[in-house]
Amino acid sequence: MAILVFAENVNGTFKKPTFEALSYASVVAKNLGTEVHAVAFGTASDEQYQNLATHGASKIFVINHPALASFIGPAYASGIATVAKQTQSQIVVIPQTYNGRAVAPRVAVKLDAAMFSGVTSLIAKSGNGYEVQRSAYSLKAIETTSTQRDKLVITLKSNAYKVEKNPASGLVENFVFEPSARDLLLKPQRVIKASSKISLTEADIVVSAGRGLKGPENWGMIEELADLLGAATACSKPVADVEWRPHHEHVGQTGIQISPNVYIAIGISGAIQHLAGVSSSKTIVVINSDPEAPFFKAADVGIVGDAFQVVPALIQSVKKYKASH
């Protein structure tokens, strides 16, 4: 028995969601008296694998198959499930990235395991099975849920668990896995990179703006503030709908759900559908000229004021701070 983590790499680099999943799995493993294994596809440098070990992987199973150089959901799911079966892993932890969410349900079916997604708590034993907490109703509720199955697949909500070092042996093992013809029916063609420099789902800080900015020509200050803070930019739905901003920046119920460390909302009213995508952010800063804007109810820090004055002043303050630190 072990806990298996899907270690997702992008061109040989493991990213934050993988380290969150390993850090999380290490604590669960300690509580359950077992160890953490990782499964990775393709090739990565020794240094990259060492990084998995530092965050808790005692074994790293590498599936390096020519047909699986780029992500193919059904085939990756087969690979992960094959490793889980051969190593008798009872629990599979998958980061809640797009690719993670694509493979998880297929892995659960292959293992005939119970599945929970968007998990925010550690996994606790409950009878023969397990109990966890997860977010539900688009962040408007927290569900405590359990299963009596002894096998479990979870996706771990991004930013729900801090990255921590947890040095383990990190033995790298080549794992021979041959995908079936049916695993390979999807033919990936190409990746179209979003223009934004920092990916929204991975960003630690997000600067977001809405209809209060009046027009696309006014986004210069938003981008400047984001650059200074090393933040990603986001927007409300109507702003993407009228194409002031690209669609991939739209956050909320029907857009991307994010939970960064800091979310700065500028000229956004805070409609319930917008909050549904951002309200689990750790700290929410709201800048809005209307003291009655509903967003203030969800805010930690608020400034009632005109964005066209507050944002340039904030940019100056950040510059001043940076110059003196």
Q: List the interface residues with other proteins, window 193-212 (CB under 8 A).
A: 193-194, 199, 201-202, 204-205
Of residues 237 through 296, those in contact with ligand FAD by CB under 6 A are 237-239, 252-255, 267-269, 271, 273-274, 277, 288-290, 293
Rg for the chain, CA atoms, rounded: 21
From candidates 143, 178, 300, 306, binder to ligand FAD by CB under 6 A: 306
277 binds, among other proteins, ligand FAD, none (CB under 5 to 8 A by kind): ligand FAD
Give the shortest CB-302-to-other proteins separation in angstroms.
5
Residue number with CB closer to other proteins (211 or 248): 248
Per-residue contact flags (x/-) with ligand FAD for residues 180 to 219, judged by CB under 6 A: ------------------------------xxx-------
Piece of 23-31, 34-42, 56-64, 317-325 that binds other proteins (CB under 8 A): 317-325
Residues 6+ apart with CB under 8 A from 294: 269, 270, 271, 272
The pair phi, psi for residue 61, each rounded to 5°, is: -90, 120
Separation CA 91–CA 154 (nearest Å): 8
Rounded alpha-carbon distances, angstroms, from residue 133 to 118, 136, 202: 9, 10, 22
Single-letter code of the amino acid located at 8: E
Q: Phi and psi dihedrals of 246, rounded to 5? A: -65, 150
Considering only residues 26, 147, 159, 259, which one is a binding residue for other proteins as defined by CB under 8 A? 147
Residue matched to tokens 């991975």: 202
CA pair distance 48, 54, nearest whole angstrom: 10
> Residue 35 or residue 161: which is nearer to other proteins going by CB?
161
Mark residues 104-143: x for contact with other proteins by CB under 8 A, - for none. xxx-xxx---xxxxx------------x---xxxxxxxxx
Residue 120 sits at φ, ψ, to 5 deg, of: -120, -5
* Residues binding ligand FAD: number (CB under 6 A): 25
Residue 22 vs residues 57, 67, 124, 255: alpha-carbon distances, Å: 7, 26, 17, 27
Q: Enumerate binding residues for ligand FAD (CB under 6 A).
A: 210-212, 236-239, 252-255, 267-269, 271, 273-274, 277, 288-290, 293, 306-308
